[in-house]
Each structure stands twice: as structure tokens, then as C-alpha cells.
A = this chain, B = another copy of it.
Amino acid sequence: MMATVSYPNRPAQPRPGPAMAKSPVTSIDVARLAEVSQSAVSRTFTPGASVAPDTRARVLEAARKLGYRPNAIARTLSTRRSRMIALVMSNLQNQFYPLVVERLSQRLQKDGYHVLLFITETEDADELLVELMRYQVDGIVMASTQLSSRLAQEIADARIPVVMFNRSTRAGRVSTVSSDNHGGGRAVAQFLAAGGHQRVAYLAGAEDTSTNQDRERGLRDGLAEHGLRVVARAVGHYDFERARQATRELFGPLVAASERPDALFVASDHMAFAAMDVLRLELGLRVPDDVSVVGYDDVPQAAWGSYALTTVAQDATAMIEATVGTLLQQLEDDAVSRGQVLVPATLVVRQSARRPVEGAA
């Protein structure tokens, strides 16, 4: 008795005509041509699997002829490893982040990983992450974004390694990589104090971020060591336009000349550019003669002649190495402990802030 064989999910006949797509070649097609089993094909494309040299050669030859490429999606379904890493970002306007996207992608590509990119407007990435997890990403890098503790727990339960980049977090079981924001802020304080500044103002980033909190604490701690304090403060929220507004609050015509700060530490270079433009072009103040400006990040534009911004450099390369290292380690061994990496931050002295006398050429 012959069974009627039916093929669900396939049209009864291939679509006719020149527009017909070549149906993708699979390991079975290769096996047929090479006259080996489908397993043998799979093994020759699995590093470390045992295949006789002769078998391997025939498979590779057949694969070449057919233009075969193993289907990564099918592999993922079998192995539960997608070799995709989710990168979650919220703020590409700050020039530090394009650099991070670029370098991090390349670094992960080098290790055979691919980046699934998620941009979130809000800092809350929960909903996106749920979507992410459906794609079986092997790991998650959160840059400039926060994670609710509920979701952090869920991700931890699913054993997906997470690294917070440039953010720390209260949620447990998550590694973080950031620059030494407190140390950086403190170095700025020391530099300004040594330069004889008496009235230091602070232009804050988003107040709920660890970067802003640590940079500000570093500044305050460093100033205190010299008997100084922050005399004025406004919030720019890491946003260009709001930083302009904050600068007007701090230095605008309503501020008496005697009250005017003689130095401004800005929580990011991106905002520092806004501040410098307002100071010079709108308020007619000279930088650094009337007011010294110091930023944070050392983005490429900080070196541009029009700004020549003295700033704290975050070592992006070191931060990325630490991020990828942490991720790969956790990918290999789930039991690895979650740590906090702090990359040293160094002051880069340019022309936007008055220098200590002994530091001058």
C-alpha cells in the first residue's frame, strides 16, 4: 500500500517564469552532490567536529559549486546560540556614542558575533528588551540606558549576560563598565583649583544617571580638598539645547558680575560645546580669559580648533575591551561573578581652561 505523500508549507508547484527565486541550497543538497550524509556536511562546517580529510574536501568542493552557506538561524535553533549581541542605546547625538557603536561592532564582529541594534528614545528599554530576548541574543550591552530591576531579574533568570556600558546600576547580577567618573571629576577640581579658580560652576547631565552623579561628587570632593565648593549649578540633561539654556541661567545678564563663576565644569563635551557657544557668541565672554570651560568624554570634536576643549578622556578602547571581555567570559561560563570595571580617566589639557602657572610652557 502506498502512502500519499504531501508537502505542507510548500506550493504544489514552483512559481514559473524568470522571476522564480532559486530555492536556497541546504546541507542536503550538498550532501547529495558530495555523496555523503547530511551529517557529514554539517560536521565539515562545525569547527572541531571529526571529519576525514577526504570527506571534508568533497563536501567543501560541493558546497563551493552550489554556493552553500550554512543557515545561521537553523543553527541557532539547534544550539541555542545565536552569536548575536544586543546593543541598546538611547543617545547618538552625544558624539561619544557613535564611536562606541563603531568600535564595539567591529570588536564583536572580530569574534564572530553580530550586533542587533536597538535605539530607544526613552531611557527605559524594558519593552525593547523583551522583544530582543525573543531573538535569542547571547548577550546584551546597555549603553546610556537603564534596566528596570524587574527586567534585570528576568534576564538573569534566562541566563543572558548583560553589561552596562557607561552606567552603573542597582540591579544585581549585572556587570558594569565605566570610566572612573569620580576620579575624573576630582581631577577637574584639582586642575581648576591649581589654576586659581575661585568660583566653580557645574553644568549637570541627567540627574538620575550614575555618570552625572559620580562626576559631580568627584568635582565636589576635589574642590573640598582645596577649600572650595560649587557656587552655581544648572541642569542640561545631556541635551544640547537644554545645556544652552542652563548656561544662560548660570552666566546670563541677570547674574551680577561679582557673582559670575570663573570656571564651568560641564558633565559632557556635547553640552560643553553648547555652553562655549553661548558664553562666547551670545554673552560675549572670552574662554578661557573670562571663564574656563572643562568638559567630559574627549569626543573627536573636543580637539577641533574652534573649541580646543580641555576635558576628561574616557578611554573608549579600554572600555570596549573590558565590555567584550566581560561578555565573552560570561558567555563561556555562566558562573563567572558579575563585576564592576572602572577604566582610568585622564585629563586632556587644551585651551578652553586657564592652566596652572607651573603647568604653562
With a CB–CB cut-off of 8 A, which chain B residues contact A307? 306
Contact with B along A97-119 (1 / 0, CB 8 A): 11101100110010000111111
B105 near A101: Cβ-Cβ < 8 Å:
no
- A238 CB-CB contact with B under 8 Å: no
Contact B78 A157 (CB under 8 A): no
Q: Which residue of chain B is the closest to A276 with respect to CB atoms? A: B306
By the criterion of a CB under 8 Å from any partner CB, how many residues of chain A are at the interface? 64
Residues in B neighbouring A119, C-beta threshold 8 A: 101-102, 105-106, 109
Chain A positions 333-355 with a Cβ under 8 Å from a chain B Cβ = 334-335
Supposing A105-B117, A273-B304 touch, asked if A76 and B73 sit within 8 A by C-beta, the answer is yes
Whether A360 sits at the interface, judged by CB under 8 Å, is no
A100 and B214 CA atoms in complex are apart in Å by 31
Instruction: Please measure, in the bound complex, the distance between the C-alpha atom of A74 and the C-alpha atom of B67, giving whole angstroms.
Output: 24
| Given A98-B93, A114-B116, A300-B93: A9 touches B82 (CB 8 Å cut-off) | no
Against B, the Cβ 8 Å flags (1 = close, 0 = not) of A256-282 are: 000000000000000001101110111
Q: Tell me if A210 counts as interface (CB < 8 A to partner B).
A: no
Assess whether A305 is interfacial by the CB under 8 Å rule.
Answer: yes
User: Does A72 lie within 8 Å of B136, measured CB to CB?
Assistant: yes
**A170 beta carbon closer than 8 Å to chain B:** no
Query: Given the complex of chains A and B, what is the CA–CA distance between A158 and B21 in angstroms?
Result: 6
Would you call A301 an interface residue if the criterion is a C-beta within 8 Å of the partner chain's C-beta atoms?
yes
Contact between A19 and B334, CB atoms less than 8 A apart: yes
CB contact under 8 A between A301 and B300, given known A71-B136, A92-B98, A154-B67: no
> Which of A127-135, A179-187, A218-226, A316-324 is found at the contact surface with chain B?
A127-135
Q: Which of B101, B114, B130, B134 contacts A92 (CB 8 A)?
A: B101
Chain B residues, CB < 8 A from A71: 77, 134, 136
Q: Do residues A131 and B117 form an inter-chain contact, with CB atoms below 8 A?
A: no
Can you offer 9 A-B residue contacts whose CB atoms are under 8 A? A19-B334, A24-B158, A71-B136, A72-B135, A72-B136, A109-B119, A109-B128, A114-B131, A273-B304
Given A101-B101, A301-B301, 17 more contacts at CB 8 Å? A19-B334, A73-B76, A73-B77, A73-B136, A84-B135, A92-B98, A98-B98, A98-B101, A105-B117, A105-B119, A109-B119, A109-B128, A114-B135, A116-B117, A240-B300, A276-B306, A281-B305
